[in-house]
């Protein structure tokens, strides 16, 4: 404990008279109906990201109520406050563009308002990363609570869950395997409860990562949104947040370099989303712990995929929860983890694992002796096409495409892709590589989840299910295919991807972690000299901030001035 003022009297508004500041703050807080007895208690802030444009956070009001119950029972005053909320499918051009902005909102509102610890309530893809990034920078004791995954629906006897099944049915519709009436019916059933996407997409992956980092109670990541256990976890989270006031464990003490390596191991073992690499890199960057993509390859080579969830496997998050959750996954790879990492509940990762129910459903969480895949789900590729790296989710890809040279079919932008991909006259075969550029962090489209380039309709109708696809874009964690993403540097910043032409040959070798453009260097220099001048940058507002300070994918697409090492001035 320190002697610094706590509760309502912390961080006073400055009027040049501290006594007046205290008197005025108490007076205005009293207007909300609090007694003086309540206002004298320490405060737990409840930072939540909910809104009408975020379906995944529909049950946040109930979670806030449960957290408050836990805080009050433990003797503190809970005060909730909203921040920006990012609903994945409601933001243009893409939610990633606003993740850093949300993280600044979270950081500054934690820092500026009087609270002694904070509960972070998020769930949808970008909200948990933004909250962890903001909390890492503010470094007030903080604990994460996620909204939890959706439960599955049914269509004609088949289980459905957003959003791997969204893509699967859409691909069948594009291939004329189902009609418009059936795709309309499926549309109503894919996302049928509150909560986040039901598979091992980005939201589920980030929940697992938050737990693996030690920022949540054990077992909290996978419990469905609509399960009563989710509310009990919220209540427990409130109690833990009060305990953190007198025994502060700050984000910088929880999310250490070894804890981040634990999170990478879990990301690999669960067959998690490619997006999580970006987000974990950004979170770690706030604490001065860079993630080296070559080290990711080492971890990937030595970490099996154990979790049998879509899009890598068959099942859904509710099955993972019932099977034993993230602690059961951690137990299976305990020899690969840093067991002495401290968690937000005051126990180490090793103690958590030891205390967890030993029963496990091996259909959802496979034993080391019978993994879904003996190697990790994600690999980083390097070469002249991606000198700073690119990412492939090999566990969700067709291994028959991993070692080959392919002719390039290039799309210059998302608009170009939309206009030509289904053109019956497009010169493309199933053996080609589809290349999409100007979809990276420095492009006007701000790195959307467009890397899952659709199979050209004429090939889809002929039964083609997968092709090599390469871009500087991202891919939804719920998607699948031989899709190389996050090519760095991106085309808009002058990366090699800008120089590729249709008819060129690329060489992909997953075994050698290589991605090469097989064009002679003098020819590439000529092409570089002929590149058009970049578009005029934005001149105001958040667009200006984004254009000036966004980093490449290998640095997590954070703003340079938010990274731990300090402020970088615009060029
Ligand atoms: Fe929110 Fe998928 S849209 S988690």
Residue of 196, 224, 448 best suited for mutating to test ligand 1, as the one with most atoms within 8 Å of CB: 196
CA of 248 to the centre of ligand 1 (A): 32
Both 250 and 393 in one domain: the answer is no
Both 322 and 258 in one domain: the answer is yes
CA 14 to chain centre: 38
Tokens of 201: 């997409």
With tokens 């609903």, the residue in question is: 87
CA of 352 to the centre of ligand 1 (A): 28
Both 76 and 181 in one domain: the answer is no
Q: How far apart are CA 47 and CA 346, in angstroms?
A: 22
Cβ neighbours for 193, distance < 8 A, ≥ 6 positions apart: 150, 151, 153, 224, 225, 226
Residue of 124, 129, 146, 208 best suited for mutating to test ligand 1, as the one with most atoms within 8 Å of CB: 124
Q: How many separate domains does the chain show?
A: 3
How is 424-436 classified by DSSP, letter by letter? Answer: TT----TTSEEEE
Residue of 98, 125, 164 best suited for mutating to test ligand 1, as the one with most atoms within 8 Å of CB: 125
Residue of 50, 53, 54, 56 best suited for mutating to test ligand 1, as the one with most atoms within 8 Å of CB: 56
pLDDT at 228: 98
Question: b/e map of 380-412 (b: 16 or more CB within 10 Å)?
Answer: bbbbbbbebbbbbbbbbbeeebbeeebebbbbb
Both 329 and 427 in one domain: the answer is no
Instruction: For residue 321, give the CATH number of its domain.
Output: 3.40.50.2300
Question: Which ligand 1 atom is the nearest neighbour of the CA of 56?
Answer: 1
Tokens of 301: 């080579």
Both 336 and 400 in one domain: the answer is no
Both 303 and 414 in one domain: the answer is no
Asked whether the beta carbons of 343 and 254 are under 8 A apart, the reply is yes
Asked whether the beta carbons of 207 and 321 are under 8 A apart, the reply is no
Both 206 and 104 in one domain: the answer is yes
Whether the CB of 203 sits within 6 Å of ligand 1? yes
Q: Return the closest-CA partner of residue 384 out of 529, 520, 552, 531.
A: 520
Both 169 and 311 in one domain: the answer is no
Whether the CB of 201 sits within 6 Å of ligand 1? yes
Q: Give domain status of residue 247, yes or no.
A: yes
Q: Give domain status of residue 365, yes or no.
A: no
pLDDT at 2: 57
Sign of the alpha-carbon torsion through 343, 347, 348, 351: negative
CA of 291 to the centre of ligand 1 (A): 25
Which of 170, 187, 204 is the C-terminal boundary of a domain? Answer: 187
CA 368 to chain centre: 26
Cβ neighbours for 283, distance < 8 A, ≥ 6 positions apart: 129, 132, 133, 136, 255, 260, 556
351: containing domain: 41-151+193-355
Both 138 and 212 in one domain: the answer is yes
**Omega cis (within 30) before 118:** no
Q: Where are the alpha helices (DSSP H) in 96-215?
A: 96-112, 127-138, 164-174, 180-187, 202-213
pLDDT at 570: 38
Nearest-CA residue for ligand 1 atom 1 is: 124
CA of 201 to the centre of ligand 1 (A): 8
Q: E strand or H helix at 148, and its extent?
A: none
Sign of the alpha-carbon torsion through 499, 501, 503, 507: positive
Question: Which ligand 1 atom is the nearest neighbour of the CA of 54?
Answer: 1
Whether the CB of 122 sits within 6 Å of ligand 1? no
Q: Give domain status of residue 385, yes or no.
A: yes
CA of 96 to the centre of ligand 1 (A): 13
Q: How far apart are CA 273 and CA 224, in angstroms?
A: 19
Asked whether the beta carbons of 406 and 432 are under 8 A apart, the reply is yes
Whether the CB of 89 sits within 6 Å of ligand 1? yes
Tokens of 459: 């090939």
Asked whether the beta carbons of 340 and 348 are under 8 A apart, the reply is yes
CA of 163 to the centre of ligand 1 (A): 8
Q: How far apart are CA 270 and CA 312, in angstroms?
A: 9
Per-residue pLDDT of the chain (571 residues; tens, 9 = 90+): 457 889 999 999 999 999 999 999 999 999 999 999 999 999 999 999 999 999 999 999 999 999 999 999 999 999 999 999 999 999 999 999 999 999 999 999 999 999 999 999 999 999 999 999 999 999 999 999 999 999 999 999 999 999 889 988 998 998 899 999 999 999 999 998 999 999 999 999 999 999 999 999 999 999 999 999 999 999 999 999 999 999 989 999 999 999 999 999 999 999 999 999 999 999 999 999 999 999 999 999 999 999 999 998 999 999 999 999 999 999 999 999 999 999 999 999 999 999 999 999 999 999 999 999 999 989 999 999 999 999 999 888 899 999 999 999 999 999 999 999 999 999 999 999 999 999 999 999 999 999 999 999 999 999 999 999 999 999 988 788 999 999 999 999 999 999 999 999 999 999 999 999 999 999 999 999 999 888 888 889 999 999 999 999 999 999 999 999 743 433 3
CA of 560 to the centre of ligand 1 (A): 27
pLDDT at 142: 98
CA of 124 to the centre of ligand 1 (A): 5
């Amino acid at each position: 404990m320190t002697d610094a003022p706590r509760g309502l009297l912390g961080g006073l508004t400055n009027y040049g008279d501290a006594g007046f500041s205290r008197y005025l703050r108490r007076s205005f807080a009293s207007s909300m109906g609090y007694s003086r007895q309540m206002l004298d208690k320490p405060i737990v802030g409840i930072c939540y990201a909910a809104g009408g444009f975020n379906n995944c956070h529909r049950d946040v009001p109930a979670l806030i109520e449960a957290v408050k119950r836990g805080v009050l029972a433990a003797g503190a005053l809970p005060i909730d406050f909203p921040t920006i909320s990012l609903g994945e499918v409601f933001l243009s051009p893409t939610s990633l563009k606003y993740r850093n902005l949300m993280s600044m909102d979270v950081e500054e509102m934690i820092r500026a308002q009087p609270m002694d610890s904070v509960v972070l309530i998020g769930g949808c893809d970008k909200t948990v990363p933004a909250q962890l990034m903001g909390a890492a920078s503010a470094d007030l004791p903080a604990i994460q609570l996620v909204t939890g995954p959706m439960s599955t629906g049914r269509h004609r006897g088949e289980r459905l869950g957003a959003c791997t099944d969204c893509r699967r049915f859409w691909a069948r519709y594009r291939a004329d395997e189902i009609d418009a009436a059936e795709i309309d019916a499926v549309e109503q059933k894919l996302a049928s409860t509150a909560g986040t996407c039901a598979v091992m997409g980005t939201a589920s992956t980030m929940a697992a990562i938050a737990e693996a980092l030690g920022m949540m109670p054990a077992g909290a990541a996978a419990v469905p949104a609509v399960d009563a256990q989710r509310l009990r976890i919220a209540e427990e989270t409130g109690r833990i947040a009060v305990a953190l006031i007198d025994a502060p464990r700050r984000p910088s003490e929880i999310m250490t370099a070894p804890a981040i390596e634990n999170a990478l191991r879990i990301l690999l073992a669960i067959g998690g989303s490619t997006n999580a690499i970006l987000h974990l890199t950004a979170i770690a960057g706030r604490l001065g712990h860079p993630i080296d993509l070559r080290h990711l390859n080492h971890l990937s080579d030595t970490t099996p995929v154990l979790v049998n969830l879509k899009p890598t496997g068959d099942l859904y998050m509710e099955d993972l929860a019932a099977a034993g959750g993230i602690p059961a996954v951690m137990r299976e790879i305990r020899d690969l983890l840093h067991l002495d990492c401290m968690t937000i509940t005051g126990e180490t990762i090793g103690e958590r694992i030891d205390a967890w129910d030993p029963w496990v459903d091996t259909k959802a969480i496979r034993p080391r002796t019978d993994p879904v895949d003996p190697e990790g789900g994600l690999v980083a590729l390097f070469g002249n096409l991606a000198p700073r790296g690119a990412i492939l989710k090999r566990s969700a890809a067709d291994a028959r495409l991993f070692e080959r040279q392919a002719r390039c079919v290039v799309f210059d932008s998302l608009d170009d892709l939309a206009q030509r991909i289904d053109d019956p006259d497009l010169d493309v075969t199933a053996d080609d590589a589809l290349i999409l550029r100007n979809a990276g962090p420095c492009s006007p489209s701000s790195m959307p989840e467009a890397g899952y380039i659709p199979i050209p309709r004429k090939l889809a109708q002929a039964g083609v299910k997968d092709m090599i696809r390469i871009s500087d874009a991202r891919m939804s964690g719920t998607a699948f295919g031989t899709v190389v993403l996050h090519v760095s540097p991106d085309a808009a910043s002058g990366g090699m991807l800008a120089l590729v032409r249709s008819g060129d040959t690329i060489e992909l070798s997953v075994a050698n972690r290589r991605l090469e453009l097989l064009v002679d260097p003098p020819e590439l220099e000529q092409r570089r000299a002929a590149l058009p001048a970049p578009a005029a940058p934005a001149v105001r507002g958040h667009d200006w901030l984004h254009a000036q300070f966004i980093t490449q994918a290998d640095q997590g697409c954070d703003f340079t001035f938010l990274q731990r090492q300090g402020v970088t001035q615009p060029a």
